Amino acid sequence: MHYYLIAPAKIIKADAYTFTYHSHQSLAIGAIVVVSAGKQSLVGIVVDETTKPEFATKEITTVLDLPPLPRPLLQTSQWMSNYYITHLALVLQTILPSGLTKKRRALISSNSGAARNRTHFLLNKDQLAAVDTLSNTKSGTAILHGVTGSGKTAVYIEYAKKLIAAGKSVIVIVPEIALTTQLIAEFQQSFPGLITTHSQQTEAQRHHAWLQALNANQPNIAIGPRSALFMPFRNIGAIIIDEAHEPALKQDQTPRYSALRTAAILAKYHRAIVIQGSATPLVSEYYLATKTNRPIINLPARANPNIIAPSINVVDMTSKIAFLHHRFLSDLLLRTVSQNLENNKQTLIYHNRRGTASTTLCQNCGWSALCPRCFTPLTLHADKHALICHICGRHEHVPTTCPDCGSTDIIHKGIGTKLIENELSKLFPQATIARFDGDITNKNRLNQRYQELYDGRIDIIIGTQVVAKGLDLPHLAAVGIIQADAGLALPDFTTRERTFQLLAQVIGRVGRNDQPTSVVVQTYQPQNPTIVQGIRQDYANFYANELAERRRSGFPPFVYLLKLTCIYKTEATAIRNSQKFAAQLRSEYPDITIFGPTPAFYERVRDTYRWQIVVKSTNRTKLLAIASQLPRTHWQYDIDPANLL
């Protein structure tokens, strides 16, 4: 008789992660089994062998006919549980596909790569040097810091070829599903049998992709967003994280893990390396790399030596003379769009606000349309003729009269992507326009329409941050930024960094070939250092200034952060309990910095009030101890939060 510690993929007890079961057959560590717990049948993982206990044990119900999970993946899941103080069952739910015990029909493999009529140039000296440096890096994390258009993808592919030839698999992580299509198209030219996985696939498709990796006898490539990190390859040579600066690489639901940090641990157990590729690396990651002597590989020039740098024009939005023909589309931007349409070229319009108008109010008495559940302004969506809360999704009718004073003087203020689309449709009725934001249907998402974009069949592209990163479109001749400083007013320590990243990234969508291109940047703050540095794509000066500000104000990378959120149905209860816990923390931990409690940025969400405590410390262990003390109900915590909003 054999006895094993089994970790079920569902919480049975809050304070117990593993349970002892017996089996008549010998099982490998990592074997996937089915066990009974009360009246439930649960999938579980064999995490260790143990001796016969003093109490009676149940027999393992079924051993699934699957290879065991690779030991490095199992070790990583246990690390995640400890590092993010998350129940192991919740981690296993993250790394295992849904429906493991279902019987499925065989699927015909199909990849969603687009066709790219692209000539591959020989790697330049900077790219070749980057591949050599990566080849000589045996483990750890390397930052591939390449300006937009410097050919980071070509470096990934060339290095992946070497690893595949050496019998090692590669995982490629992208921050957005929208970017998978383009990257797959690039990689498929060299790796036609690669595996793709993402949340828009069906459960069966994702299960099939996972099984491909688990059963693979030959090295392969897997491409997908954050969850692709857990593809169960047995021998990983590298984990490539493209656009490694993106906030989407931090999961915002339990377990709230960072893909950057978790990839480093998985790579350590595989004796592999992590490549963080970005034109605008995270300030914290860049600083840590310099302090720990990690490789920082620079690609300082565009890959194509014949490129023509874009002409960049800044429009001061306080100047009325610049907006004679439209209230928020400058004359220069309208001329640029018109010229591109005449020349059969594309224009990309970027604005990081969706909807039609962000504020609906009465000019007579000042009444404003707020969500009754979240107390935040309702956003007008003119195409649906509805006011929608972007937090809870509540829909309200658009008022024709003020509910307070009865006046019909209702106005809608603010700029959103739907309004931009509507206005450009009126101004350029002959143009083919496509909008990409969080409101579009699945069939109209960027990854579904990428081929149309690449082929130039869409004249005007409008979008939020999804269009700002990674896109390489040969017919794109101009970028228009509606309000470059729109995000600078947010009360968060990452605001300047995020504004710089998005500005530098979206400008980098042009100036990638030997055709003349242009950029029109509209802003109310043309002299703001972040705006100036973003327009110039001046990472060095931005990094120096931002690091100095972080050091002065005490934010990462100089401290660790813990965000605690108290959630109750009534405001008084949320305030009382958060104040009580903050007082307890100040008494028990006099040597750490505690801010709050204060209302969270979104104080009211879905009929609940949220108050927030922020804890700073140079000792992360203390923050873990604090999170462990939290009451099990009415509280949430986020260790190493990507932001404090």
* Contact of 3 with 20, CB cutoff 8 Å: yes
Whole-angstrom distance, CA of residue 29 vs CA of residue 281: 38
pLDDT band at 119 (very low <50, low <70, confident <90, very high): very low
Q: Is pLDDT at 559 greater than 60 in this prediction? A: yes
pLDDT higher than 70, residue 111: no
Q: Residue 49: how many CB atoms within 10 A of its CB?
A: 13
| CA distances (Å), origin 209, targets 198, 202, 330, 553 | 10, 11, 48, 46
Maximum Cα–Cα distance for the chain, whole Å? 86
Alpha-carbon distance of 612 to 636, in angstroms, equals: 10
In the prediction, which pLDDT does 465 show?
Answer: 87
The residues pairing with 62 across neighbouring beta strands, listed in sequence order, are: 34
SS3 349: strand
pLDDT, greater one: 629 or 439: 629
Which pLDDT tens digit goes with each residue over 590-623? 999 999 999 999 899 888 999 999 999 999 999 9
**In which residue are the tokens 């952060």 written?**
561
Task: Please check whether residue 444 is in contact with residue 434, taking contact to mean a CB–CB distance below 8 angstroms.
Answer: yes
Rounded CA separation 147/537 (Å): 8
Higher pLDDT, 500 or 451: 500
**10 Å Cβ neighbour count for 369?**
21
Q: What is the mean pLDDT of residues 397-401?
A: 93
> Quick one: pLDDT band at residue 187, thresholds 50, 70, 90?
very high
DSSP labels, 539-555 = HHHHHHHHHHHHHHHT-
The pLDDT, as a whole number, for residue 482 is: 96
Number of other residues whose CB lies within 10 A of the CB of residue 21? 24
Work out the average pLDDT over 423-451: 89
When pLDDT is cut at 50, 70 and 90, the band that residue 108 belongs to is low
Q: Say if pTM beats, i.e. exceeds, 0.75.
A: yes
Average pLDDT over residues 335-354: 95
Is the pLDDT at 128 greater than 90? The verdict is yes
* Alpha-helical runs (H) found in 232-373: 259-270, 283-291, 331-342
pLDDT at 182 over 70: yes
Give the C-alpha distances (Å, rounded to integers) separating 616 from 48, 261, 547: 37, 19, 17
Terminal C-alpha separation, the chain? 54
Q: Are strands 32-37 and 40-50 parallel, antiparallel or unpaired?
A: antiparallel
Q: What is the mean pLDDT of the chain?
A: 92
Residue 442: DSSP 8-state = G
What gap in Å lies between CA 372 and CA 92, rounded to an integer?
37
Q: How confident is the model at residue 479 (pLDDT cuts 50, 70, 90)?
A: very high
- Mapped onto helix, strand or coil, the DSSP state of residue 288 is helix
CA atoms within 13 A on the CB side of 402: 18
Q: What percent of the chain has pLDDT over 90?
A: 78
| Predicted pLDDT of residue 446 | 82
Going through 408-517 in order, the beta strands assigned E by DSSP cover 410-413, 433-436, 460-463, 476-481
**pLDDT by residue (tens digit) across 51-86?**
999 999 999 999 999 999 999 999 999 999 999 999
Please name which of 274, 185, 232 lies closest in space to residue 470, comparing C-alpha atoms. 185
Question: Rounded to an integer, what is the distance from CA 87 to the centroid of its chain?
Answer: 23
Looking at residue 354, its pLDDT comes to: 86
